[in-house]
A and B are shown apart, each in its own frame.
Chain A
Amino acid sequence: MSKRLGTSVARKEDPALLSGHGRYADDLPVPAGTLHAHVIRSPHPHADIVSIDAAEALAKDGVWAVITGDDVRKISDPFLVALKAPIHQWSLAVERVRFVGEPVALVVAENRYLAEDAAELVQIEYTPLEAIIDPVAACKPSAPILHAEANTNEVSVRKFQYGDTKSAFEKADKVVKLTVDFHRLSFTPMECFVAVASYNPANDSYDCMANFQGPFSTHPVMARALRVPGPKMRLRIPPDSGGSFGIKLSVFPYVVLAALASKITGRPVKWVEDRAEHLLAASSGPNRVTEIEAAVTKDGKILGLRMDQLEDYGAFLRAPMPGPLYRMHGAVTGGYDVANIDVINRVVLTNKMPASLIRGFGGPQLYLALERLVQRIAIELGLDHLDVIRRNLVPPEKFPYHAAAGSLYDSGDYPRAVETAIGGGRLDHLKKRRDEARKAGRKYGIGFAVVVEPAMSNMGYLSTLLTPEARDKAGPKNGATSMVTVNLDPLGAVSVTADVTVQGQGHETVLAQIVAEQLGLTPHDIDVTLEMDTAKDQWSIAAGTYSCRFTPGTAVAAHMAAGQIAAKLKGIAAKQLNVLPDDVELVGGKIRSRSNPDNAVSFSRIAGTSHWSPVMLPDGMAPVISETGVWNPPELAPPSGDDRINTSFTYGFVFDMCGIEIDPVTYQVKVDRYVSMHDAGKILNPMIADGQICGAFAQGIAAALYEEFVTNEEGAFLTGTFADYLVPTVSEIPPVELLHMESPSPFTPLGAKGLAEGNCMSVPACIANAIADALGVKDVQLPATPRRIHALMAQHGGVR
């Protein structure tokens, strides 16, 4: 590893973004004559649409169309879903609405103001139906059914058995049980959705622009809905995006809707989501009820686990759902060496906004259950929480480690990570703080959380949803192909394109670092263009920015592409320098002989050779203008016949430890000290890495203490503005102490793993454990708001 990698190179992105020269979706020019759309949304959680009368709206000046589900059904197909179940969703509700906020009609007008005015004139008559909100109740036979043809709300149940869990439970000294409920929330990027589409009747094609984030496996879903082959649904993604965190996958139904609106009106159509729409209907993380139990020995060794996970996806399953339930599947035993585990995965639909991608993607739900259980094991056995953790961690000598459900953990030293984190007097300090606080009659607790952080999803993980027989029939699914192209221009300048979408992670900078490294240039010399155009750029279905695939995936493809270029340039230079290719090196903007550095030629001269003088290329070498690195690690195999699946490619490690106190005046949980230990293999840019971790940490705090989508029993949505849905500001985010260690991944040439989701997974669990410790309670519902803490204390007799 060289100097360029592993250093905090300042971001190439920053000057433009700091000066107002970002190019976000709503900043880009649109074709002349573009119309503006506004979505009319359902006020009911569950109702039949009786009639839609748009006459008055259409009579208004400047209004072009009011499009309904009937229009959409005629010219498009329902979106494909991963699950074979009769759940049909179009881009507008057809006949029935199933959640508050569901798009019912689209008003297209000359501008947004007019479109909103006209929307108020559209008369829609509904017959309300009974709504079902609670996931457990939704599974009961008496519950109203959302999708009549499916005949049940519990649309998928799969049971998995690894090892011999039954005997583990028979042998156990004790069984420890817990039910854990993970709530609904979203990480609400500051920029909302934008979609622009133009239909070209001459060749029946759509040209779309949206701040979509991937995965590009959704591209075929959009094209199929529009009834065109993929190349006829061109999708461009702007150079800048105002954050995503998984959420901007869910712009895709609106891309299709804008496309259909363009076909209907004959004009380009633009839609910009507003914040009220975003909170109401964009996307939520799924809520999950987990019943978990452990078979343990007296000294805290976990012999076996049983988990029943009921995940609530809201009104529809949208591709790639139910991802969160399966993305962690191979790693369902977390950081612990547990060979016997039974898992039941159940998918339920309710009358709430559809769930979809969100940073952490199944991790927060899993670890809240698993880590709360480990704390309960300690309590019920009268042991120290940390000792129970220690007793069960995967030992370092077992790496690469085959987890029970199929994940192949690449590298790590979990015990060392834990000991390092608690060392340096950190744990002693927390204990001292706790003793002092308790002596003074205050409620103080210490929490821990252990997280294995997967990165770069195996495209085949979702097929674990199918039975082995069904998988056999469908053919194997696996892999995750990453692609980066490095180009040389006639004057030897280097440019790069890649299969990621920009959301603020500094990919431009890190790609420049990686390519510069191989070519003996500086990051400043490398131009990276990350706006995407499906018609012209390299992409596979794995493309996009999600599941931390950049570092283990795209970064490696860049390393390969630049390496391919470098090797060929060495060949060209060798001929000109009259040396053997092996003697050539690329250093400081020069290409030179290693043994005689004075024998050198400028990089740009050699790099331009293929443009100007192919005659000077070594015999048989094709011109070197661009090279694409294609990376698909062999470790990402399809699910095995016994349902083992290596769900991700790299596995980092996070260990968190915190002290919290309940504010005696306000009942607010106050974080006194928070320590987070990370092992993400090699770090490519420490500044950017820490930035990602701090961002995930803040979102973890948000999930633990502030953010929740609240739907009442009748189905009304109560958190529709930023005054009710509480995104923390600076005063609500405590400082975090970051510690790092590096166990390079042996499976990637860069040794680097993903690291941007771990704290979304660890923080809710760690805070919940600390609250349990502070109050001596078993059940801790998140977010732990003053209202909940107060109620919990009242229930346990000690409010004041």
Chain B
Amino acid sequence: MARTRLTFDKICATLDRCLDVEFSFLKTEQPAAIIAELDSDQQGYILEWVQRVASTNIQLSYQFITQATAVLDRMDRGIIEAWALHAMDMYDQSGLHAALNVIKSVDKFVQLSHERTAGAVFEDNVGVLSHFVHGLSGRQLKLAEADCVYTDTETLFLPPVIAQLQTTQENFLLYKIMVAYLWAQTRFGTFRESVSEALQEESDPQQFLDLFHALDSVRLEACIERELPGLHRELNRIKATLQADCSTDPSWATQVEELCAPDCDVATVLRLTRTAKGKDSPPRTLFYHGVLDIEAVETVMAQRLEKEKAQLRSVLRQIAEDMQDGEAEDSTEQKQFEANKKADPSQPEGFTIELTLQDQPVPIPEVVNRLTTSIVQDLGDIPDDYLQAAGEGEYDPALFLEKEVDPDDVWKGTYHEEGAFLYNEWDFRRQHYRKSWCAVREKDITPVHDDFVRATLGKYSGFIKQLRKTFEAMRDEDRLLKRQVHGDGIDIDALVEALADARDGSEMSDRLFTRMHRTERNIAVCFMVDMSGSTKGWINDAERESLILLAETLETLGDRYAIYGFSGMARKKCEIYRIKEFDEQYDSEVRARISGITPQDYTRMGFAIRHLTQKLLETEARTRILITLSDGKPDDYDNYRGEYGIEDTRRALVESRRAGIHPYCITIDREARDYLPHMYGAAGYTVIDAVYKLPLKVSDIYRRLTT
């Protein structure tokens, strides 16, 4: 049955409500008149999207009406939706102005989306491409988006979209070619000679650099042809379809021949550039060759060499110490290692490094291998001073650690997301995720060494004994299975019966054996504890007491478990507090942390579920359980309150369940709230009103999941 068309008045009323005209003072008559002209199906469609966009911003939605009704006839609905969502994403990232631009330039979006249907998008392909580049030999390179194509020798920078060619496959191929080309620059030593020094002597540095780049590209493509012949064939095919004029002028034939020789290195390229500059019709680079950013290369390389030298020398010191273990030698002496080049035609340099110390071969651990490979890649060799074991205390160990950001500093300093885990959040009004919406950081809890633990243990001592018994009953145990077809022993009862049966002439059972059966459980359970301000008071005490009871009893089971707290202050300050990690012992430190759990800010649950789901997935176990312990009231500073928070929490639980986790929610409250069944729909849940019930609930969950 077709819906009836809405009248102008009805539409006005709907728009007034969606756009909150009472406060926004927007005029809805004109858009309503346009919508009134549409057929009922279109009306419904537009109004729904008006509502969704309005949930993000009312101005944006108002603009959306005018633009969307204009293109409704000629645009695919999928594209309209993508456009609206893109505008909302822009709003999230860059604010109203940027979002309005997206809405206003719908035609640009159409062209772009056209590009996107045939083009290859970095974001979609970065996974495959990074695996690809990691498979190629040498230093592990990262990939990132940028406006132009280049590398700083650590990261390969690639354009966000490639749409030069007709099909997605071909455009993807172009990405692959760029990746391989930039990899070749780092692998075949384009930066082993200082180009910046060479440039200083030139009167026209730019021209010199261009020619150097073009000639080096000839060399690198020859390297690629030798190393990756399949890719080189594809490269030629692409060049043909691009119809790019890639042939070099015949007058450059001798140079090209020299560049393509297997032993041609970058010094040769520099020499050829010097001698041939100014010569007519020079070779040119093609767009996939990108640009050379010599400054970026030299900065990154200098930093890396310094760091790797320090790391290598420190490891060598360690090795030297291990080797002379027991010998009473003077250990203050700095040992000099020797690098022997062992011929290895599979390497671009033609050798691999073997180390000796006083003519004794040295076992090369993986890290040394990685370092020597990287250093040889940069320098073509390992200088002797890199091979001298470090002196005692010569290097600050901080040099080796990737800088870890202190979550508090991040918050105190500028408002940025460095070092944070980013998670999407579900916006039910938009019916879509807000991308990378929550910035999550892990923090330590300040341990409080007070009387709390002892008091709790005292208070519940009788109960703990009883609990232990409950849990012990679930421990791995050998059970003797009787009447088995196969087994280790004879089941005498069964045998006697069977023999009697046989004598009677009836069929003899073959279930005559006993077998030991061991139920080996393999569980990881993660507790997620609400540390929001609303837990202040008896709920916080209840949480802490019950965690102590739980930990005491879980210890008897021997399963792996972790405890984290969570709290948030708006989406940029979502915090996970480490209380006990999976590999950590339950010791006095952990107890003091439990005691130190104090109510913090607000409750935002989605991010915590997502983050701890991730943690669980990284833990090896057959059964993974996530138990949230909260007061069951999602709220946060920025609109997480109410339905939004309930829907996001619900969504996060669904995601967790889909990932194979068993989520379970325990709410500490004196009354059951009516939204709980909906919010916890994807998980099992229960409401408890007293501390001692928690471990019992947990044992229920265990039993249900493991038997």
B is a partner of A? no
Which A positions have Cβ atoms within 8 angstroms of B? none
